[in-house]
Amino acid sequence: MKKFVKILAIALAALIVFFAAQQAYYAYGYKQHLPRTEITVNGVEHEYYLFAPANEADGSSPLLVLLQGGGADASWRFASQYDWEALAEKEGMIIAIPSGKQVGDNEGAWQLNTDSKSMQDIKYFEAMISEITSKYTVDESRIYAVGYSLGSMFSYELACQMSTRFAAIASFAGTMPVSPKSCDPERNIPIMHIHGAKDGIIAYSKPWDWKSWDSVGTMRDIPDLVQYWTDKYNCQNQNETSNDAVAHFVYDACEQDSRIEHYRIEDGTHSWPEDINGEPTFSVMWSFLSNYSLP
């Protein structure tokens, strides 16, 4: 009996060490390393993490907002974050990574299908941007957003509600509601959307419903998402180039000189793609975003 207890104790100790090592691995590999800033908006505490390049003081800096998916917890690093930081250092760009916060009966941590009664995240972003621009020399004509999954979905809220604040958006693996309550942007913000054709979470070719988020309603499939924006912008031209791996759609001659681009990754899933046609995904997005600035 004593021998059994001893073996059991050793096994439990080994298990504890294993889980501790696993937690340490994930914390080292994925936990956020950037400094955290707290901000209170309308009595609600929010947080964001900030990267400022060493050469920021040499001139006005673009600002890039990275929108997390899942629980929108920015205490975990964003996809390819080290690559984004290296790009930001090179470009003299500031990066903000905000955390979302679940409100009421919402199923997600970013507010979707925003209307006049659910502007809390829009007000949060307005306050965050104002705070950053008060502390750093930001080129306010060059503020961009990149979203992943739920963050991609929220990027379309920014397109609807903050089109005169953001110069352009790019996102991966999200969509938007079939029936938006409020989407009448003052400006046709340029949009890039990337999506895997084999995404098993946010389906490419099939609309879907949230489990219990009736206020958001049915979500669009991706061809319908692209069609929504090309119709809204009255885009006149469409060009497609494709190979076995990727189809690239470009919609231009849009009103207000806007533009929409869409990449369909044929074998792509919900996982962030490392590259598109051999070019890193972050670089593809930045090549698009950096073409635009507010008038």
Burial degree of 224 (CB within 10 A; 0-12, 13-18, 19+): middle
pLDDT digit string (tens) for 26-64?
445 689 999 999 999 999 999 999 999 987 656 899 999
pLDDT digit string (tens) for 200-236?
999 999 999 999 999 999 999 999 999 999 999 999 9
What is the distance between the alpha carbons of residues 154 and 175, in angstroms, rounded to a whole number? 9
For residue 18, what pLDDT is reported? 36
Q: How far apart are the first and last CA of the chain?
A: 80
For residue 7, what pLDDT is reported? 59
Rounded to the nearest integer, the mean pLDDT of the chain is 92
Q: Token pair of 26, please? A: 């994930």
Residue 280 pLDDT > 50 = yes
What is the distance between the alpha carbons of residues 27 and 170, in angstroms, rounded to a whole number? 28
Flag the least confident range among 20-34, 54-68, 113-127, 171-185: 20-34
Average pLDDT (9-15) is 48
| CA 73 vs CA 20, 30, 32, 109: distances in Å | 22, 12, 10, 9
CB 269 within 8 A of CB 200: yes
CB within 8 Å of 18: residues ≥ 6 apart: none
Kindly give the pairing relationship between strand 44-51 and strand 36-41.
antiparallel
User: Residue 104: pLDDT band by 50, 70, 90 thresholds?
Assistant: confident
Complete domains list, the chain, with CATH: 32-289 (3.40.50.1820)
